[in-house]
Amino acid sequence: MRKMSVASVSLSSYDAKTTENYRGMGAMGGVGRATGVGSSGEEEEEEQDEDEEDEERGVGETALVAVSTSIAGTLDDSTLSSKPSWNSHPQQQQQQEQYLRQHKRHHGWRRQSRREYTKRNEACGMCGCKPRWMQIFNNPRALLFFLCSGSFIQGKYCFFSRLLFTVVISNYLSQSVNSYLSQSVNSYLSQSVKSHLSQSVNNHLSIYLSIYLSIYRNLFISSYLSVLCFSRLSFDDTICFKACK
């Protein structure tokens, strides 16, 4: 019984407090209606402020979307794949010059980029040698200088070798022939016949040596020219350029 009474007292006190609270809220509402300042006006002002903020945010978002779409439209695959453009800054101009200088290197007299050079090589395969150290042969002036210097050195070598063979070896052979003739045919031939034979031997040896050297020189020249032909060197690259076009 005591427990029930305590519970009823607590419930009655709770009901009294809630009724007082409701009465206070009603009084405040009446005062607000009487003075003309209510909760509805404040709510309307807050809603207007929120609408203005939403509009401003919407404008900013649309501007950002437009900028992003314009950037995406400009940065397509073609612009990204192409080489960068340098226009404004001097440092960028230096980078452009360095880029062009690197791409003009090791290409002889054509003065073009590596990309065009590889395209032309893939197109016809007659624009010169593939190794970088042989690209000097694509230059007609360098190739002409190389051929002239090679022929000059070859001629000097042949001249000195011919002189060496004709002077040293022919004299040695003539001495050996003279000694052989003097030993074997001394009792049968006179001195005039021996001198005539020695002179003829010397002449024949010099002729044979000159023929021998000329044959080897011609073989060397023909092999060199065949190597040039089979290595597909173009003396004038404009022919290949017209063919590739």
Kindly state whether residue 82 falls inside one of the protein's structural domains: no
Kindly state whether residue 145 falls inside one of the protein's structural domains: yes
For 97-146, the pLDDT digits (tens) are 776 666 555 444 455 555 555 555 544 444 444 555 555 666 666 666 77
Binned at pLDDT 50, 70 and 90, residue 149 comes out as: confident
Kindly state whether residue 187 falls inside one of the protein's structural domains: yes
Domains: count for the chain: 1
Q: Which domain holds residue 195?
A: 136-238
Kindly state whether residue 89 falls inside one of the protein's structural domains: no
Token code pair at residue 55: 């509009």
Per the listing, tokens 């593939």 go with: 130
For 34-90, the pLDDT digits (tens) are 444 444 556 666 666 766 665 555 545 554 444 445 444 444 444 444 445 545 567
For 27-48, the pLDDT digits (tens) are 444 444 444 444 455 666 666 6
Kindly state whether residue 157 falls inside one of the protein's structural domains: yes
Q: What is the pLDDT of residue 192?
A: 58
Kindly state whether residue 72 falls inside one of the protein's structural domains: no
Kindly state whether residue 188 falls inside one of the protein's structural domains: yes
Q: How does DSSP assign 18-86, residue by residue? A: HHHHHHHHHHHHHHHHHHT--HHHHHHHHHHHHHHHHHHHHHHHHHHHHHHHHHHHHS-HHHHHSPPP-
Closest of 141, 104, 120 to residue 239, by C-alpha: 120
pLDDT higher than 60, residue 154: yes
Kindly state whether residue 111 falls inside one of the protein's structural domains: no
Token code pair at residue 46: 């807050």
Q: What is the pLDDT of residue 94?
A: 76
